[in-house]
Amino acid sequence: MATSKTITPATGRRVTLASLRKAKGEGRRFAALTAYDASFAALEDAAGIEVILVGDSLGMVVQGHRSTIPVTMEHVVYHTALVARGAGSALVMGDMPFMSFATVDEARHNAARLMQEGGAEIVKLEGTGAQAETVEALSAQGIPVCAHLGLRPQAVHKVGAYKIQGREPEAAQALMEDAAALEQAGADMLLLECVPATLAKKITEQAQVPVIGIGAGVHCDGQILVLYDMLGITPGRRPSFSKDFLIDSGGIFAALQNYAEAVRSGTFPGPEHAFE
């Protein structure tokens, strides 16, 4: 059972897109983390995590699937509503699952569900420049969007494996162009997964909007991890870009605080958690 101390929001001030943009402008890093239920959302919020993502990673770490592809809108809406109830000041981001944004109309309908039924304050979708029209349409309706580039787990069967993206010069150039196109289309945030640290640094410098990294090196404006990976409870091998913060922290709340602090101070991710 959480103590009343642990569920007191750390700042009391709501995290907004404007406050994250300000943090980027001032060179202050911020911490993001996934959550799937109200209790963890409250703990993360109290530990000072600024952005809580209800990721479709729930398909793997909660539901036990081998990929995120079986996750449906119903699942994400349900878990987003749980998290939104627990989160205090953190920004709640809901993930658009596989094929939920295949057409612009579906994207509009499903993003609206995530916000109205789930209580998300921003939606995330995996994309390339090909999703620019969708991002523009959501943006035009006042729906904040985080565009997820690089390794896109929903495309695992097309790509062939969960592997680092943007290593070759042409692929790196394409990623930079995709990031610029999605920002131009109205994306309010970018998320880079498994890209070389030097490329992530260039994209972060090029972008006016905050850039969150996972397996993308220390130069992004913010970092995100899957909650169960950073607590060391995901079955199987932990991704090399992640770190078990529970092992040296003595408890879950301390692990969350130590993660937030390590991100802010730039001590996480270290070179051993990044790719070149």
Size of the site for ligand KIV (CB under 6 A): 12
Tally the residues of the chain.
276
Considering only 45, 50, 56, 178, the residue that binds ligand KIV (CB under 6 A) is 56
Q: Contact at 8 Å (CB) between 49 and 93?
A: no
In DSSP terms, which residues pair with 213 in a beta bridge?
A: 192, 223
Q: Decide: is 80 part of the binding site for ligand KIV (CB under 6 A).
A: no
Strands 122-126 and 145-150: parallel
Q: Which of 54, 116, 55, 49 is nearest to 89 (CA)?
A: 49
Q: Decide: is 33 part of the binding site for ligand KIV (CB under 6 A).
A: no
Q: Which two tokens stand for residue 81?
A: 């509503």
Q: Which residue is nearest to ligand KIV (CB)?
A: 55
Which entry of 44, 50, 126, 193 is annotated as an active-site residue?
193
Nearer to ligand KIV, 44 or 56 (CB): 56
Q: Decide: is 97 part of the binding site for ligand KIV (CB under 6 A).
A: no
Is 121 annotated in the active site? no
Stretch that binds ligand KIV, among 49-57, 79-87, 160-168, 199-207 (CB under 6 A): 49-57
Helix (H, G, I), strand (E, B) or coil at 36: coil
CA gap 103, 159 in Å, rounded: 21
Stretch that binds ligand KIV, among 9-17, 53-61, 106-114, 168-176 (CB under 6 A): 53-61
Q: Decide: is 224 part of the binding site for ligand KIV (CB under 6 A).
A: yes
CA gap 135, 186 in Å, rounded: 6
Q: Which of 119, 171, 175, 128 is nearest to 147 (CA)?
A: 128
Which helix or strand (DSSP H or E) is residue 258 part of?
A: helix 252-265
State in angstroms the smallest separation of the CB of 216 from ligand KIV.
10
Q: Decide: is 210 part of the binding site for ligand KIV (CB under 6 A).
A: no
Considering only 6, 19, 34, 234, the residue that binds ligand KIV (CB under 6 A) is 34
- Enumerate the active-site residues: 193
Residues that bind ligand KIV in the complex, under the rule CB under 6 A: 34, 53, 55-57, 95, 148, 191, 193, 214, 224, 226
